[in-house]
Amino acid sequence: MPKSVIYRKLIRNENFAELIGIILGDGNPCKQPRTDNLRIICNSQDTTYIQYIAGLIKKVFYKNPSIIKRKNENTVVVSLYQCKISKRLALPTGDKIRNNVGIPSWINLDERYMLRCLKGLFETDGCFQEDKINYAQYIEFKNNCSQLREDVYNILVKLGFKPQFGHNYIRLAKRSEVYRFKELIDFRNYNCPLG
């Protein structure tokens, strides 16, 4: 009888919280015949961010992921095969919108986890716009999963922000909040060392 492999328990920390945000944004755990596959789809031009994600996966799963450029596409897949990924992440396999995924509750227990999860979400499904001529700016998270939008809204409120709740987005538009939030999540900085 084959010996069953015991995988390390995933440690709930800031790196794991950010990876959850990235997966909820541009990733997905998928069921394979004999294992699970974690895939995160990236723009192939974002080489620094691709390496950052790969480093984050290694920190959380203790294993290097594969980085595969898709033929005739401007995309790269950061991929990890391992058993029980979905169960250990506490995220379902399959379509995120149909499953109405949300942020795992343990992330709400620590402000550092909340901020790092938001970083993962805003880096993947977020954008920052600045119009210096009209003194307008906003940072927003766009996603079609209603539970995820609601969770992002609630965390932002919990952190003291006043977000706008749109049909498919959550937005910060007050100047002081936009720049404070950008700084808090270290938006678009992938050179920071992973703890």
121: alpha, beta or left? (left if phi > 0; alpha if psi -120 to 50): alpha
Q: What are phi and psi of 35, to 5 degrees?
A: -160, -175
Indicate whether 81 belongs to any domain.
yes
Instruction: Provide the CATH number for the domain around residue 122.
Output: 3.10.28.10
- Cβ contact 102:147 at 8 Å: yes
pLDDT interval class at 89 (50, 70, 90): very high
What is the Cα–Cα distance from 53 to 102, expressed in whole angstroms?
A: 20
Indicate whether 5 belongs to any domain.
no
Indicate whether 8 belongs to any domain.
no
Indicate whether 192 belongs to any domain.
no
Element (H, E) at 58: helix 47-61
Range(s) of the domain holding residue 142: 14-185
pLDDT over threshold 80, residue 191? no
0.75 cut: is pTM over it?
A: yes
pLDDT digits (tens, 9 = 90+) for 15-52: 999 999 999 999 999 999 899 999 999 999 999 999 99
What is the tally of structural domains in the chain?
1
Indicate whether 193 belongs to any domain.
no
Indicate whether 160 belongs to any domain.
yes
pLDDT digits (tens, 9 = 90+) for 97-154: 999 999 999 999 999 999 999 999 999 999 999 877 777 799 999 999 999 999 999 9
